[in-house]
Chains A and B, each alone.
Chain A
Amino acid sequence: MAVADTRLEGDGDVIGASSRRAPSWATVLAIVAAAAWVLPYAWMVVTSLKPLDEIARDPTAPLPAHPQLDAYREVFAQIPVARYTLVTVGVAAAIGVLQIALALPAGYALAKLRFVGKKTAFALVVACLLVPPQVTFVSVFLMFAKVSLTNTFGALVLPFAASALGTFLVRQALMSVPDEIIEAARLDGASELTIIYRILAPLLRPTLVSVFLVSFVYHYSDYFWPLVMTTDDTVRTLPLGIALLKEPGSGVRWHVVMAGNVILSVPVLALFAIAQKHLIRGVAGRA
């Protein structure tokens, strides 16, 4: 896993033609690139602080003349932000935990055990990697509807309980764990479940953290699946609630929509700032 060593918090020892001082053209281009990605966020924040009449009068004024938080109050008045957030975080966390709980034994079997049909099992995992939820959602929706499980946590969580990618990454990580550790544990009388969850899981911590974070961020932000699996407010998630702030027809109240955007984005961006290394390893680890 060469990727596991990839550091993106530029410390000094980056490999490549880069240990010399950066030429000034590179600095200038980097600032331009930063502007292209940071300014849109800035615009989101600026717009959310503008009163409605300022947006109507001079929509492209770079700064609000009278910054105010009314838009945020309105978001909280229009949608139950706390409940939606709780549902969203609950769904994303449940998926992350389940994926790890299931990927560990599956990855263990594929990496460390010999059995008839192993190749077939591995082929099935790879096949699942290639079938996105966008292919299956019609049938899954109808299956859930048949047993009255639409608009439930189950419909949002269960289809993602097993992660082909997570299984694949756990398997890869386990390949580099020496067999002796497992044999020693077996001689000590440890059960297979003890070996998997008590002995190997701590060794795989970096991989598991990455798998959890990538999954959490993806499902926290997901719009497609909650949209197709819910028809009412019962388990509505935050991205859906925020998207509903832009109701079609009547003029869009952009300061409210952008305030909603800020509320939706800040937790993920904060998580990204804290756990950038793990997230990037998880994403690049697909390579």
Chain B
Amino acid sequence: MTPRARSHPWLMLGPSLAAWVVFVFVPLGLGAYQSLFSWDMLTEPAWVGGANYAALAEGGELWRILGRTLGFSVLVVGGSMTLGLLLALLLDRPGGLFAFVRGAIFSAYVVSWVAVALLWVLLLDPDRGVAAAALRALHLPRVGFLSDPAAAVPTLAAVTVWKITGYSMIVFLAGLRAVPRSLHEAAALDGAGALARFRWVTWPLLRPTAAFVATTSLIVSFQAFDVVRIMTGGGPARATTLFVYAVYEQVFMNLSVGKASALAVVYFLVLSVLAALQLRAWRSQTPGSRGTAT
């Protein structure tokens, strides 16, 4: 017979729950409420109902923000997962060199976004940048990495991939190390080459890891803000105004709490739908198992 705990479990959860109520649940509700008002933080808020949502949808701005953010996310998730998996396969070897390279790649994930964004603004500078100099040396046409509206989102995505690939590499490495070596040996004895072994042994066992990396990178890419604010300020011609930056712009530049809140509500809904879809894909892929590394 287990002696019962003397203090109530809810008391132990209390401090955490209180913090979450104040800083997560109340703000969520408050945001939804504020989205129904027009408020510039100076005069009194005025009830407008769904007008903020209508105004955002009317000019198509909402869909443009959503499309841009989704496009950015596809590039970031696809890029960082592909690169992270390839690097994990390449660098899963003993030896000091490989350990150093793993560390070097992961270090970018640890360093501040501010440092990374500022550094890449310099590297991509049309006059002073190394990238532009390399294009000149190869007699390739000039690319306005951050000044051409068509190039700006892919450029920010590439910088983000550089920053977060270390993360997916680390998680894939953990997944790879959970693949039993005996399976590889058995497949090799059956005459399977390296590619066949990857296709039929490694990849099926790595799929839960891949689904997990996809979910987390998707959420990270949807939160992109620092890179936009520091590298482009949402420009050129609003080409890089991603979701979080759009919310920030509404509240701190346009002083429109209502529209900012409406955008945040939509942002939250999109995030929830994406997370739910990902979770479902994750579950259906791995009947009965809960991922490799839980």
Chain B interface: which of A77-85, A138-146, A204-212?
A138-146
Which listed residue, A15, A60, A141, A284, touches B130 by the CB 8 Å rule?
A60
Residues of A with C-beta under 8 A to B24: 128, 131, 136
Which listed residue, A34, A37, A121, touches B13 by the CB 8 Å rule?
A121
A228 shortest CB reach to chain B, Å: 7
- Least CB separation from B251: chain A residue: A138
Instruction: Say whether A30 faces chain B, with CB atoms less than 8 Å apart.
Output: yes
Contact call B271/A286, Cβ cutoff below 8 A:
no
Contact call A30/B101, Cβ cutoff below 8 A:
yes
Contact call A283/B167, Cβ cutoff below 8 A:
yes
Q: How far is the CA of A260 from the CA of B174 in the complex (A)?
A: 35
Instruction: Say whether B108 faces chain A, with CB atoms less than 8 Å apart.
Output: yes
Residues of B with C-beta under 8 A to A140: 23, 27
Instruction: Say whether B111 faces chain A, with CB atoms less than 8 Å apart.
Output: yes
Encode contact with B along A252-274: 1 for CB under 8 Å, 0 otherwise.
00100110110011001100110
Q: How far is the CA of A187 from the CA of B150 in the complex (A)?
A: 69
Q: How far is the CA of A132 from the CA of B247 in the complex (A)?
A: 14
Instruction: Say whether A250 faces chain B, with CB atoms less than 8 Å apart.
Output: no
Contact call A2/B30, Cβ cutoff below 8 A:
no
Instruction: Say whether A55 faces chain B, with CB atoms less than 8 Å apart.
Output: yes
Q: How far is the CA of A159 from the CA of B26 in the complex (A)?
A: 12
Contact call A6/B292, Cβ cutoff below 8 A:
no
Which listed residue, A40, A239, A287, touches B174 by the CB 8 Å rule?
A287
- Least CB separation from B131: chain A residue: A60
Contact call B9/A38, Cβ cutoff below 8 A:
no
- For window 105-120 of chain B, which residues contact chain A by CB distance below 8 Å? 105-115, 118-120
Instruction: Say whether B209 faces chain A, with CB atoms less than 8 Å apart.
Output: yes
B46 shortest CB reach to chain A, Å: 16
Whether A134 touches B9, Cβ cut-off 8 Å, given contacts A37-B108, A106-B16, A287-B292, is no
Contact call A60/B19, Cβ cutoff below 8 A:
no
Instruction: Say whether B5 faces chain A, with CB atoms less than 8 Å apart.
Output: yes
- For window 133-160 of chain A, which residues contact chain B by CB distance below 8 Å? 134-143, 145, 158-159
Contact call A139/B261, Cβ cutoff below 8 A:
yes
- For window 202-227 of chain B, which residues contact chain A by CB distance below 8 Å? 209, 212, 216, 219, 223, 225-226
Residues of A with C-beta under 8 A to B171: 283-284, 286-287
Residues of A with C-beta under 8 A to B96: 10
Contact call B94/A12, Cβ cutoff below 8 A:
yes
Residues of B with C-beta under 8 A to A44: 115, 119
Instruction: Say whether A74 faces chain B, with CB atoms less than 8 Å apart.
Output: no
B187 shortest CB reach to chain A, Å: 10
Contact call B10/A60, Cβ cutoff below 8 A:
no
Whether A192 touches B5, Cβ cut-off 8 Å, given contacts A158-B19, A246-B118, A264-B114, is yes
Residues of B with C-beta under 8 A to A224: 225-226, 244
A2 shortest CB reach to chain B, Å: 5
Residues of A with C-beta under 8 A to B43: none
Contact call B170/A8, Cβ cutoff below 8 A:
yes
Instruction: Say whether B190 faces chain A, with CB atoms less than 8 Å apart.
Output: no
A-B contacts, 24 of them at CB < 8 A, read: A2-B178, A3-B293, A6-B177, A8-B173, A10-B94, A31-B97, A59-B133, A115-B9, A130-B272, A132-B271, A138-B260, A142-B30, A143-B27, A143-B30, A162-B16, A162-B17, A191-B7, A220-B112, A221-B110, A239-B112, A265-B112, A269-B107, A272-B106, A287-B174
Residue ranges of A at the interface with B (Cβ–Cβ < 8 Å): 1-3, 6, 8-12, 14-19, 22, 26-27, 29-31, 33-34, 36-38, 40-41, 43-44, 47, 55, 59-60, 102-103, 105-106, 108-110, 113, 115, 117-118, 121, 124, 128, 130-132, 134-143, 145, 158-159, 161-162, 164, 167, 172, 179, 183, 186-187, 191-193, 196, 217, 220-224, 227-228, 239-240, 242-243, 246, 248, 254, 257-258, 260-261, 264-265, 268-269, 272-273, 276, 279-280, 283-287
